Amino acid sequence: MDPAASFNFDGDDDKEELDSDLLEVPSSPKPGNPLKILLKGYQDRLEKNPLVTKSITCACVSALGSLLSHVNDNNPQGPSPSGNKPPTATKLQQLAEIAAFALYGGLVGGPLTHFWNQWLEREAGSTSWKVLVDQLIAQPPMLFLMHVVLDMAGAAVQELPKAWNRSLQKTGQSVVMSWRFWPLAVYIITRFAKKERHLTIGTHVAALYWMSKIARQRSNSGIRY
């Protein structure tokens, strides 16, 4: 067989294979299930930063639960046992409750249950014992704390518009008081404090006097808690 002919024949085969490779369209990767991707990302966050992830989740779940409770607020389901219709919450009250639940879940409920569950897993032993300890020992004080925080946070959120207006009125007076007091106080403390502890003590004494002035200013304005 002619070597040249053999070479040309092989070359044609290579060319055909190359052409087929060029004409072949690579298949695009199939998009993944969005729910699976979301769950996978959430699981990764739980492993990398469990405390923050659980706290944010608890805040969202608590706020959503409060929101769902207000779905039928405008359509009360019949009278209460006393014969009167249950009172309908105002929009401000609804927002205050949702914000209170979110604050509780993110700042108290989420972190608290995170560390408590860690302790249960480490110390409590069997599943039955964990449930018993959790329900009889932990739940009563946790639920009491939950209601205290919800009431305090809800009241604070409802007072936010009034507090905003009062703060705008008082800030100007406080700034003038600060300019009259703190520049001289800081100069004296830093000028005569010879050691770090003297600087700390002097600053605390000045802060004590300053906070008493702020408290008196608010008291004279009729602000009471």
Neighbours of 41 (CB within 10 A): 10
Model pTM score: 0.62
DSSP class of 195: S
Q: Are 181 and 213 in contact (CB under 8 A)?
A: yes
Has residue 2 got a pLDDT over 50?
no
The per-residue pLDDT for 147 is 93
CB contact at 8 A, 103 and 150: no
Distance CA 87, CA 201 (A): 54
Tally Cβ neighbours within 10 Å of residue 64.
Answer: 14
149 or 89, greater pLDDT:
149
- For the record, the structure tokens of 77 come out as 């389901």
- Between 43-47, 66-70, 86-90, 158-162, the lowest mean confidence (pLDDT) is in 86-90
Q: Give me 219's structure tokens.
A: 């008291």
Decide if pLDDT at 42 tops 80.
yes
Among the ranges given (6-10, 86-90, 109-113, 192-196), the one the predictor scored with the smallest mean pLDDT: 6-10
Tell me the mean pLDDT in the region 118-145: 86
Domain ranges of the chain: 46-70+89-158, 161-220
Render pLDDT for 80-106 as a digit per residue (tens, 0 to 9): 555 555 566 678 788 888 899 999 999
- The count of other CB atoms within 10 Å of the CB of residue 131 is 12
Coil, strand, or helix at residue 26? coil
Say whether pLDDT at 28 is over 60: no
Structure-block tokens of residue 125: 């032993």
pLDDT, mean of residues 162-166: 84
pLDDT at 126: 78
Mean pLDDT of the 51-77 span: 82
Backbone angles phi, psi at 88, to 5 degrees: -90, 130
